Amino acid sequence: AERQRERRLAAAAPASVPLSARSQTKRRAVLPPALLPRLPSSPPHRPSGNMAGLSSSISSFGRCTHAVVRALPESLCQHALRREKGKEVDFARAEREYQLLVGVLKSKLGLQVLELPADESLPDCVFVEDVAVVCEETALLTRPGAPSRRKEVDAMKRALESLNLNIVEMTDENATLDGGDVLFTGREFFVGLSNRTNRRGAEILADTFKDYAVSTVPVHGALHLKSFCSMAGPNLIAIGSSEAAQKALKTMQQMSDHRYDKLTVPDDSAANCVYLNIPGKGHILLHRAPEEYPESAKVFEKLKDHMLIPIACTELEKIDGSLTCTSVLINKTSEL
């Protein structure tokens, strides 16, 4: 039982360092994040696949009852952060694309959608995924890597409190974490180490979700880990074809004790999709529209067991947005 409670954070080593030389951090529930003990390198311990909690999470992967979204502020057109200067955002079209997504979640899939109001002083606030990581009944409020985004957490906190979730706040000023760097597979977490997320943030996430192994993955050439990957179904990782995406996938395969299936698409941006498992509706996949990425759409069409719903994200992609960015999905199993 004690071994089952122990977890190690397996940090991905640079290519020139053998995997056996990875550094790990041992975490204990009784210690606050600032006091996490550091241990020398050793083979990572991962929770047993026979644990009741892990088995339950795998069987319920993709289940969702609620979604938290946030309206678009007009300020995003001129002031939202972006990695590179590019085309101007068409706000009216971005609004239509956003409303289509919200309509699918609410009307087509039957989720209870909590829509937070836009805040013109927070031009990136539509990207709610970055400010909260929710797993089962626990929500970790993050500390976004961009200082201009940190006040976005306040409205999310109120929304998640209204759902009676267990709230954990990331207050360590040495930590940064964007939810776009967090990939949960139902078995474990992969956390991208990017310009927005650091190792300390990954450590705090690992300390928050103690039943799951957590591995870090260096991210190069993209904003977030999920800029080129996501879960397209139970045990199925959608991954882009770029060298950066394939390198990250290789790292995840090396770090994990589990073998995942993969769905490789030609376009990195199209690899970011939203999988849900809705009772009475089955496997649902929201994916980028064929008019945006026709070759990648053909790959998704091979998923015969999924209900495929194409969603355009053309305008928000101009400011580094993707399909998973604009919602926080929650599966409430207890009474509100």
Q: Show which residues are catalytic.
A: 224, 325
**What letter does residue 104 receive in the DSSP assignment?**
I
- Are 91 and 73 spatial neighbours (Cβ–Cβ below 8 Å)? no
CA atoms of 309 and 191, how far apart (whole Å): 27
User: How many degrees, rounded to 5, is the angle at CA 318 between CA 321 and CA 87?
Assistant: 170
- Are 256 and 237 spatial neighbours (Cβ–Cβ below 8 Å)? no
Q: Which residues are CB-neighbours of 96 under 8 A, at least 6 positions away? A: none
- Are 288 and 297 spatial neighbours (Cβ–Cβ below 8 Å)? yes
What would the DSSP string read from start to end of 167-233?
Answer: EEE---TT----GGGEEE-SSEEEEEESSS--HHHHHHHHHHSTTSEEEEEE--SSSSGGGSEEEEE
- Are 205 and 182 spatial neighbours (Cβ–Cβ below 8 Å)? yes
CA atoms of 6 and 25, how far apart (whole Å): 10
- Are 186 and 170 spatial neighbours (Cβ–Cβ below 8 Å)? no
Q: Which residues are CB-neighbours of 16 under 8 A, at least 6 positions away? A: none
CA atoms of 283 and 279, how far apart (whole Å): 9
